[in-house]
Amino acid sequence: MRTVVTGGAGFLGSHLCERLLADGHEVLALDNFLTGTPQNVAHLLEKDAFRLVKADVTDYVHVPGKVDQVMHFASPASPIDYLQLPIETMKVGSTGTLHALGLAKEKGARFLLASTSETYGDPQVHPQPETYWGHVNPVGPRGVYDEAKRYAEALTMAYRRAHGVDTAIVRIFNTHGPRMRPNDGRAIPAFTSQALTGQPITVAGDGSQTRSIIYVDDLVEGILRLLRSDLAGPVNIGNPHETSVLHLAETIKRLTSSDSEITFIERPVDDPSIRQPDITVAKRDLGWEPSVMFEEGLSRTIAYFRDHPELVR
Ligand code: NAD
């Protein structure tokens, strides 16, 4: 099996490359290092089955030789990144997806799109099943990410229907684990680095908004089961355990034995107030459900930041 992973030097891409190699795949990672870094896959570079190529998938995607699977993960993904890189985000979701789909079509490969729970926007249905069409503000600042992913989903389905490409769409819910960046604007790395350095833990709004967080190993397992199935999706992969952001901050404070105080800052525009995946489809059709418990996952991510004090200074 030869698998191309766009965004392979990112947080999730690097975990996917690692797991695919462990499963005996040949892996080609394409990345322009916009929000990722070669350091994320430095430990894989010595493997014969792994190649990392610097490439911007919005320019073109050319891969000599056979390709069995294309996993399209390239995209700024954290709120800070996509708010700072709005055009790049829209380009990689549109033109980048077009090129990645073109590669899958040319090679007769299975294509898997990394979509997101953000396609549900600020949801009015709870929990969110795949059949829910979402509640997204296209002209708000977050629209660049949400709508790019919604367009990418539509394009993926168009290639399936018009060109017969074997496609799959995964809607990923908030994921955490090693190789997240502490300053990427996501709650878990922010709270963890604040707690470990004794700075105030900054909770947005009153912290009553909810999130459902999944540990990266569970996510990777779910994605690979979808890749190896013949499902088109979309399929939600996330952990239905729902927590308020304030409870998340309190838990991280406790697990790090931190003296940091919890303070409250302004809530970002269009920040979703609730979020929880309905994973009935993944359970039924992929035999998948998350196995890493809430505090166990957090402890593993905290351990990573403790082991990398240079990241949290
Ligand atoms: P990340 O920023 O760590 O990784 C994205 C990678 O894509 C980076 O290495 C970046 O350099 C690369 N990239 C960006 N634009 C590119 C381009 N034009 N050409 C080539 N490479 C490019 O983010 P992540 O958290 O690993 O997210 C990976 C994918 O999963 C994204 O598509 C994201 O939308 C999706 N996703 C992530 C989460 C999450 O919780 N992490 C949730 C939902 C969806």
284, part of any domain: no
Tens of pLDDT along 134-170? 999 999 999 999 999 999 999 999 999 999 999 999 9
What's CA 178's distance to the chain center, in Å?
13
Tens of pLDDT along 11-46? 999 999 999 999 999 999 999 999 999 999 999 999
CA 76 to centroid of ligand 1, rounded, Å: 5
Based on C-alpha coordinates, what's the Rg of the chain?
19
User: Residue 118: which of 73, 171, 52 has the closest Cα?
Assistant: 171
Q: How many CA atoms lie within 13 A of 265 on its CB side?
A: 12
pLDDT at residue 206, rounded to an integer: 95
- 218 and 207 in a common domain: no
Q: Whose CA is nearest to atom 44 of ligand 1?
A: 116
281, part of any domain: no
227, part of any domain: yes
Strand-by-strand arrangement of the 235-237 sheet: 50-54, 26-31, 2-6, 69-72, 110-116, 167-172, 235-237
pLDDT at residue 49, rounded to an integer: 98
Q: Which amino acid is at 263?
A: T
pLDDT at residue 182, rounded to an integer: 82
The whole domain housing 268 covers 180-211+241-274+292-311
Q: How many CA atoms lie within 13 A of 217 on its CB side?
A: 10
| Residue ranges in the chain whose pLDDT is less than 50 | none
pLDDT at residue 282, rounded to an integer: 98
Q: Residue 238 pairs with which residues in a beta bridge?
A: none
To test the pocket of ligand 1, the residue of 12, 94, 176 to mutate (highest count of ligand atoms within 8 Å of its CB) is: 12
Catalytic residues: 145
Asked whether 36 lines ligand 1 (CB < 6 A), one says yes
CATH of the domain at 164: 3.40.50.720
pLDDT at residue 310, rounded to an integer: 83
Other Cβ atoms less than 10 A from the Cβ of 296: the count is 10
Distance of alpha carbon 30 from alpha carbon 58, whole angstroms: 11
283, part of any domain: no
pLDDT at residue 268, rounded to an integer: 86
The residue written with tokens 């709005």 in the block is: 86
Six-digit token string for 296: 């166990």
- 105 and 228 in a common domain: yes
pLDDT at residue 219, rounded to an integer: 98
Asked whether 8 lines ligand 1 (CB < 6 A), one says no
CATH of the domain at 259: 3.90.25.10
- 186 and 306 in a common domain: yes
- 170 and 126 in a common domain: yes
pLDDT at residue 65, rounded to an integer: 96
Q: How many CA atoms lie within 13 A of 298 on its CB side?
A: 24
17, part of any domain: yes
With H, G, I as helix, E, B as strand and everything else as coil, classify residue 105.
Answer: helix
137, part of any domain: yes
Asked whether 34 lines ligand 1 (CB < 6 A), one says yes
pLDDT at residue 261, rounded to an integer: 96
pLDDT at residue 103, rounded to an integer: 98
Domain tally for the chain?
2
To test the pocket of ligand 1, the residue of 62, 73, 89, 183 to mutate (highest count of ligand atoms within 8 Å of its CB) is: 73
15, part of any domain: yes
